Amino acid sequence: MSAFSLPPFYPVVDSAQWVERLVPTGVKLIQLRMKDKPLAIMQQQAAQALALCQRYAAQLVLNDYWPIAITLKIPFVHLGQEDLQTADIQALKHHNIAIGVSTHDHAELEKALAISPDYVALGPIFPTTSKIMAFGPQGIARITEWKKHVGPLPLVAIGGIACEQAAACLKAGADSVAAISDITQNPSPEERAREWLKATQLVDKPALSLPPQQGLDSRPNPSAESSSAVHASPEQSGSEQSDSGHNDSGHNDSGHGDFGHNDSRQEIRSNPNEPPNSPLSHGAHQKHLTP
């Protein structure tokens, strides 16, 4: 298991054309999520998206199509729980391809952690119109609960999140916030992406105390590993959003520790053991850089 530092804004789009529109705004992490497309089109779009991301020093994450990631040397994939059943995890790791995994309940989190992923995603935080979900909204408090379980492993929040709610998700313990419709359905997607970048860049994350790990895994408490948070100006912190969803367990943020802040630069490795072509910087002793 590695602990990368993820950029705090993570748009998810369904074409290379969207990548072309968004990466020039400064987006540093972007997912290509195309559904039900012929393999040849998928491969062509993925290659185009990869070239764009390389040009703009952004990380491309390819959803679902892990064999294409191996073929095209895309260094990051996102896998759902169903994908986990068929994906060749060893092959991905052998090719040094980082893996993000979706989770929606504790059983899924356990399955995700079993493959030592590079991030886990929790969703849907709020009701979403972009995907038919078998799970109800998790709510903000669930982010804190997940972070307590995953420790230093990066946590992505996704599902129904608008720019104005991004800071609350980060403060609750998410390391990155993913979104589709708030960007792609906006009348000015590039402008909206810039708003997201500003809203997520310098969020002052409150300290959260992470009690000794129980149950799901036994990773060290990140409060012992991560360093200080950076400070946001008032206009950069979004409004707090209360928990609105159903959860299968109820504990909430109960204290004070520190997740630290994830910067959005690439290739800032602080762990010399991390391979040179690791997709993202290591988070355990990450640096805090001004933009």
Ligand X SMILES: Cc1nc(C(=O)O)sc1CCOP(=O)(O)O
Ligand Y SMILES: Cc1ncc(COP(=O)(O)OP(=O)(O)O)c(N)n1
Task: Report residue 59: phi and psi, to 5°.
Answer: -95, 125
In this chain, which of 8, 11, 80, 100 binds Mg ion, going by CB under 5 A? Answer: 80
- 58, 24 in Cβ contact below 8 A? no
Shortest distance, position 49 Cβ to ligand Y, whole Å: 14
* Whole-angstrom distance, CA of residue 55 vs CA of residue 84: 30
Q: Which residues contact 69 (CB under 8 A, 6 or more apart)?
A: 46, 62, 75, 76, 77, 92, 95, 97
Q: Which residues contact 139 (CB under 8 A, 6 or more apart)?
A: 125, 126, 242, 243, 244, 245, 246, 247
Q: Which does 31 bind (CB under 5 to 8 A by kind): ligand X, ligand Y, Mg ion, none?
A: ligand Y
Q: Which does 128 bind (CB under 5 to 8 A by kind): Mg ion, ligand Y, ligand X, none?
A: ligand X
33 binds ligand Y (CB under 6 A): yes
In this chain, which of 14, 64, 108, 253 binds Mg ion, going by CB under 5 A? Answer: 64
Shortest distance, position 181 Cβ to ligand X, whole Å: 3
Shortest distance, position 278 Cβ to ligand X, whole Å: 25
Q: Which of the residues 245 through 284 are near ligand Y (CB under 6 A)? A: none
From 8-16, 60-68, 121-129, 195-203, span contacting Mg ion (CB under 5 A)? 60-68
- Cα torsion 92, 93, 97, 101 to 10°: value is 80
* Whole-angstrom distance, CA of residue 74 vs CA of residue 38: 19
Residue 278, marked binder:
no
Query: Measured at the alpha carbon of residue 262, what is the angle toward residues 53 and 173, in degrees to the nearest 5?
Result: 120
Residue 102, marked binder:
yes
In this chain, which of 160, 189, 222, 245 binds ligand X, going by CB under 6 A? Answer: 160
Residues that bind ligand X (CB under 6 A): 102, 123-124, 128, 130-131, 133, 158-161, 179-182
